Amino acid sequence: MATARPPALVFILIVALIDVIGIGLIIPVLPGLVKELAGSDAAGARMIGVLTAAYAVMQFLMAPILGRLSDRFGRRPVLLVATAGMALDYLVLYFAPSLWWLLLGRIIAGATGASITVINAYIADVSPPEQRAANFGKIGAMFGLGFILGPALGGLLGEYGLRTPFLFAAVISGISWLYGYFILPESLSPGKRSATWQWADLNPLKPLAALTTYPAVRNLTWVFILIGLAMQVIFSTWVLFTEAVLGWTPGQNGVALAVSGLLTAVVQGAMVGRFIAAYGERRTILWGLGFALVEFILLAFATTAPLLWISLVIGALGGLAQPAIQGYISRQVSDSEQGRVQGAISSLNSLVGIVGPLLATSVFAAFTGQMAWLHFPGAAFAMGAVFMASGLVLVLRALRKNDALGGVK
């Protein structure tokens, strides 16, 4: 592919933004709804863990399947099915009379939330190799913007009832489906689709072999795992940490979430391309992981709000790494295999998303509970720093191995 396709890129960015706004809408109110149906805070907390695990398990199972189906039948029909599933999930949550219905909704959400695999493959389809990392960064920017608008709107709608944001999210997903059906073009021409396809290709474990098919991907597998575990620490314990150390309210955490989303949008939408143009993908990856490591070290020992805000800014710069790594990998993979490889990576991230929260919250509880031998609320972040440092060392080794094999710089 010699030239970019800006209209197609704009279309898929709009789809991604609408989808993420829908996801963000329910963030402020889902815990409250769970506690309401569970009958107590303790039972609600346990159920939130179950719902999180169910969501991650379904993403693990479905990400490679959706990716492979999109390689065979095209990106657009798979995205339409996934978007319809998201709308169904939100409706189930809106009407849910019991926790079991919430669990069903989260199972549907996990299965359809794996559509990010297809979105990434779509980006690879419409982008020339030298622009893929920057365009992956634009997807990150849409996620950042969506997680600014979504939670803010969800919190406002939540004032009119805990279930109201779920109905609004269903409407948003419906709009996304209509947009995809009438406007979104197909990105993968029939001539570039995978020629062979069997039912065995839908085995959710089989596509993980894609992680070993290409040397560049194989050399980075443990990097994905370690970085994923580190990021799960933030996702799982940020609110617990700020409440325990600084006494922050949900409103203050909401502001922090919005600022984080804004900074992520700026970094991944405006800075990734410039960094790569100036320093190359390799150095951008290393800079991003280095910033992320500093963030975890600061968080581990943060006892004041200013230090926490500084770590948040530095952590946003860590967002340089992900799109650079995605762009690097996409340039090692053939067009017909983009969905398969992106699906395998998403599947691996989902698997980490099952283990990571359980590990992070267990460490946090062990160092903050009444029986803790050492009171250290930042212990989980210290663990995250170890994961990130290990990932940084391994990515250096992986890039050197890939250079020796003739990989991109």
Q: Is the pLDDT of residue 41 over 50?
A: no
Compute the residue count for the chain.
Answer: 409
Q: Is the pLDDT of residue 359 over 80?
A: yes
Question: What domains lie within the chain, and their CATH numbers?
Answer: 6-186+204-404 (1.20.1250.20)
- Taking the CA atoms of 152, 155, 159 and 162 in sequence, report the sign of the dihedral they define: positive
Q: Confidence band (pLDDT; 50, 70, 90) for 13?
A: confident
pLDDT at position 49: 66
Q: What mean pLDDT do residues 174-199 have?
A: 81
Question: CB count, 10 Å around CB of 186?
Answer: 15
Question: CB count, 10 Å around CB of 53?
Answer: 17
Tokens representing residue 111 in the block: 């299965």
Q: Is the pLDDT of residue 138 over 70?
A: yes
Among the listed ranges 181-185, 250-254, 259-263, 346-350, which one has the minimum average pLDDT value? 250-254
Tell which wins on pLDDT, 205 or 147: 147
Q: Is the pLDDT of residue 45 over 70?
A: no
Over residues 307-355, the pLDDT tens digits come to 999 999 999 999 888 888 888 887 777 777 777 787 788 778 878 888 8
Q: Is the pLDDT of residue 43 over 60?
A: no
Contact residues for 196 (Cβ-Cβ < 8 A; gap 6+)? none
Q: What mean pLDDT do residues 50-68 have?
A: 80
Q: Is the pLDDT of residue 377 over 50?
A: yes
Render 198-221 in DSSP notation, one character per residue. Answer: -GGGG-TTGGGGHHHHSHHHHTTH
pLDDT at position 356: 84
pLDDT at position 379: 93
Q: What mean pLDDT do residues 153-175 have?
A: 85
Q: What's the pTM value of the predicted model, to 2 decimals? A: 0.70
Over residues 91-130, the pLDDT tens digits come to 999 999 998 999 999 899 888 876 777 888 888 888 888 7
Phi and psi angles of residue 221, each rounded to the nearest 5 degrees, phi first: -60, -50
pLDDT at position 322: 83
